[in-house]
Structure 1
């Protein structure tokens, strides 16, 4: 006879993602009522690395290790998504150029031109300054 995995094969922790981090829950499926229970044990902030235990909860080493591993993985995932979002923006700019050249009416161009030009000027200024800083080694 083989042993059943803890929590019926469920992970020991569940992370409910929110804007700046997550609420951390301990998963319990091995209780008397045989219900899946989520006990909130902490609130984490990936922006500043803060981990706040929930109420009187004392985090175990296993809790802290799981939270630290999740925070590291989440930070990497968000960084990958950020770059992917910017690359999609490049595609969107290319689509906008094609739209302006081939499809846009004069009224449509009038509605968007100033805002696009300002945004592109701002972006170009930032990118040129950042490139100069990298080249000069500042």
Structure 2
């Protein structure tokens, strides 16, 4: 079992993780986890825990995890948006085929405001991208 355990364990938290060094090389053959750092993904900060100094190997493992974790979170963001598009389509189908007048009354204003807000943001961002791409006229 000891051979299959990673050298580091990252306890995920909202903005990053607490980093633990995994140790199975002790007399009792127990798994010991010693916290060595706290990581903030948003600002890239790595704080050593308890006044310790992190080795180059520790830092390399932490930075590698941060890169991988950022990629996972970015992929999840896109997947969440694609799911939202699916939900909008399902909502349109529900409104057209299944919703009662009372159900529609309960959600129409909230949906219209949310969709208006989303449309405004998307149109503004699209215009910004197009303006950056347009050749400058002298």
* TM-score bin, normalised by smaller chain: over 0.9
Paired position in structure 2 for 1:39: 34
Q: State the SS of the aligned residue for 1:43.
A: strand
Distance across 2 between alignment mates of 1:61 and 1:42: 13
Distance across 2 between alignment mates of 1:81 and 1:88: 10
Give the structure-2-normalised TM-score: 0.93
Paired position in structure 1 for 2:136: none
Equivalenced residue count is 133
User: Could you list the runs of 5+ residues in structure 2 that have no partner in the other structure?
Assistant: 134-138
Following TM superposition, by how much is the alpha carbon of 1:11 offset from its aligned partner in structure 2, in angstroms? 0.7
Give the CA RMSD over aligned residues.
Answer: 1.2
Q: State the SS of the aligned residue for 1:17.
A: strand
User: Could you list the runs of 5+ residues in structure 1 that have no partner in the other structure?
Assistant: none
Distance across 1 between alignment mates of 2:74 and 2:32: 32
Asked if the contact 1:8/1:29 (under 8 Å) is kept, the reply is no
Q: State the SS of the aligned residue for 2:21.
A: strand
Give the structure-1-normalised TM-score: 0.93
Paired position in structure 1 for 2:125: 130
Q: State the SS of the aligned residue for 2:95.
A: helix
Q: State the SS of the aligned residue for 1:88.
A: helix
Paired position in structure 2 for 1:116: 111
1:103 paired to 2:129: no
Matching residue within 75, 82, 87 for 2:82:
87
